[in-house]
Chains A and B, each alone.
Chain A
Amino acid sequence: MKAPLPHPPLAQRMQIRDCWALIRHLFEARNTLVDFQWKLGMAVSSDTCRSLKYPYVAVMLKVADHSGQVKTKCFEMTIPQFQNFYRQFKEIAAVIETV
């Protein structure tokens, strides 16, 4: 019967964990936010709908990737979508404060 493999010492296990965190960090393509611009618009009419009448929030993000290259991402939200977006950020702030 083979002897069980020795359990690595604590310091070595922590080094291994650091490596995995680094690898995970490198492989998850995360960007950092450089700028957040917004505008509130009102869609009035279009070729498919003469009476649109809905407000929307248009957002332009400038994000930098790990190499420092900056790119622009634009998107729109309806008001209910924005309110959910805002609510989620409040939740994030509440959680990050306690960590």
Chain B
Amino acid sequence: MAAGELEGSKPLNGLLNALAQDTFHGHPGITEELLRSQLYPEVPPEEFRPFLAKMRGILKSIASADMDFNQLEAFLTAQTKKQGGITSDQAAVISKFWKSHKTKIRESLMNQSRWNSGLRGLSWRVDGKSQSRHSAQIHTPVAIIELELGKYGQCDLPFSSSVVVFQKSEFLCLEFDEVKVNQILKTLSEVEESISTLISQPN
């Protein structure tokens, strides 16, 4: 039985999920044989391989172009009309999958293209004034801020074109007095103003 004839949307949906995990989210260990045996056990390997490649290619094209829903419909319709393309049922499954997973896939693609460290987390506390017998104040209020910075790296695995893995975080601990906090706030408001200007400009 050919992979294209096996429908029920469940196997194809499962396949698309696995392809997204492998291609975009960097999940290791997703092999061709695993997918075939779990999702399409009745399809011989020599038939499954081109089917898998076709689905991967379609998913990558959709993600690379960041297709909106009009573009998606046009693209999938064209794929159904092609020689060796996809069926209407498959097109429907792919369409539904992209609508549900677009945001997460896009986020992974953005992370893949970021080569500087990203801000993974921020925690803070404010230490108050304290006194001792010998001086009125030995501390003024300070904010202690811990930034967690981390980088996405890429490595190649045999089955995938690339795999994204998240490298170990670096923690940066900074101390600010009140004056410094307010200086940073002023700077951040300038950043926000620039962002507003950018967003308000027509494309």
Contact = CB atoms under 8 A, between A and B. Distances in A.
Interface of A: 11, 14-15, 17-18, 21, 28-33, 36, 38, 40, 42-43, 46, 48-58, 61, 63, 73-79, 81-86, 88-90, 92-93, 95-97, 99
B191 A53 contact: no
A90 B174 contact: no
B78 interface: no
Interface residues of B, number: 52
Interface in B140-195: 141-145, 147, 149, 162, 172-176, 178, 180-182, 184-185, 187-189, 191-192, 194-195
Contact of B173 (A30, A49, A61, A84): A30
B175 A30 contact: yes
Given A14-B133, A48-B113, A73-B149, 9 more contacts: A30-B173, A49-B64, A49-B113, A52-B66, A55-B195, A61-B172, A73-B117, A76-B118, A85-B119
Q: DSSP class of B's interface residues: helix, strand, loop or mixed?
A: mixed
Given A81-B119, A82-B191, A92-B145, A52 B110 contact: yes
A11 B133 contact: yes
B173 A38 contact: no
A40 B191 contact: yes
B109 interface: yes
Contact of B191 (A21, A38, A90): A38
A92 B181 contact: yes
29 contacts: A14-B131, A14-B133, A15-B133, A21-B139, A28-B144, A29-B173, A32-B174, A36-B187, A40-B191, A42-B198, A49-B66, A49-B112, A52-B110, A55-B195, A55-B198, A57-B195, A63-B174, A75-B119, A76-B117, A76-B118, A82-B192, A84-B122, A85-B188, A86-B189, A86-B192, A88-B124, A92-B181, A96-B126, A96-B178
A55 B203 CA distance: 12
B184 A40 contact: no
Contacts of A84: 122
Contact of A92 (B66, B126, B198): B126
